Amino acid sequence: MDDLASLTACETAALIAARKVSAREVAEASLARIAAKNPALNAIVQNMPDEALAAADAVDAAFARGEDPGPLAGVPVTIKVIVDQAGHATTNGLVSQKDLIATEDNPVVANLRRAGAVIVGRTNTPAFSLRWFTRNGLHGATKNPLDAALTPGGSSGGAGAAVATGMGAIGHGTDIAGSIRYPAYACGVHGLRPSLGRVPAFNATGGDRLIGAQLMAVSGPLARSIPDLRLALSAMARPDPRDPWSQPMPLVGAPAQKRVAYVEAPEGMEVSAPVRAALRAAAETLRAAGYTVEAVQTPPWAEAMALQLRLWMAEFRHSGLAGLRAENDPDANFVYAQMTRHCPEIDLNGLMETLKSRARLTRAWRSFLAEWPLVLCPVSGETAFPDQLDVASEAGFDRVLTAQMPLIATPFMGLPGLAVTTGRDGSAALGVQLVADQFREDLLLAAGEVLAPHPIPAL
- What is the structure's pLDDT at 374? 99
CA–centroid distance for 330 within its chain: 24
Q: Which domains, from first to last, does the chain contain? A: 2-254 (3.90.1300.10)
- What is the structure's pLDDT at 446? 98
- The 10s digit of each residue's pLDDT in 386-395 is 999 999 999 9
Q: Determine what percent of the chain is predicted with pLDDT higher than 70.
A: 100
The yes-or-no answer on residue 258 being catalytic is: no
The yes-or-no answer on residue 143 being catalytic is: no
CA–centroid distance for 295 within its chain: 27
Q: Of the given ranges (153-167, 310-324, 375-389), which has the lowest mean pLDDT?
A: 310-324
pLDDT at 2 over 70: no
What's the average model confidence in pLDDT over 383-407?
98
User: DSSP assignment of 375-429, as one string?
Assistant: EEE-S-SSSSPBTTGGGT-HHHHHHHHHHTHHHHTGGGGT--EEEEEEEEETTEE
| Rounded Cα–Cα distance for residues 257 and 173 (Å) | 30
Question: Residue 1: which pLDDT band, with cuts at 50, 70 and 90?
Answer: low
pLDDT at 383 over 90: yes
Catalytic one among 6, 22, 155, 246?
155
Beta bridge mates, 114? none
- What is the structure's pLDDT at 423? 98
| Rounded Cα–Cα distance for residues 459 and 451 (Å) | 20
- What is the structure's pLDDT at 297? 96
What's the average model confidence in pLDDT over 404-425?
98
- The 10s digit of each residue's pLDDT in 344-354 is 999 999 999 99
Catalytic one among 6, 22, 80, 156?
80
- Would you say 270 and 402 are in contact if contact means Cβ atoms under 8 Å apart? yes
The yes-or-no answer on residue 195 being catalytic is: no
- The 10s digit of each residue's pLDDT in 62-72 is 999 999 999 99
What's the average model confidence in pLDDT over 226-232?
98
Q: For residue 137, what are the CA distances in angstroms to 94, 141, 330, 386? A: 7, 9, 9, 20
Question: Residue 50: which pLDDT band, with cuts at 50, 70 and 90?
Answer: very high
For the whole prediction, is pTM greater than 0.95? yes
- What is the structure's pLDDT at 389? 98
- The 10s digit of each residue's pLDDT in 80-124 is 999 999 999 999 999 999 999 999 999 999 999 999 999 999 999
Find, among 184, 135, 148, the residue nearest to 163 by Cα: 184
- Mean pLDDT over all residues of the chain? 97
What's the average model confidence in pLDDT over 231-254?
97
- What is the structure's pLDDT at 364? 98
Q: What is the DSSP letter of 5?
A: G
Residue 405 falls in which region: left (phi positive, over 0), alpha (psi -120 to 50) or beta: alpha
Catalytic one among 129, 156, 179, 357?
179
pLDDT at 184 over 80: yes
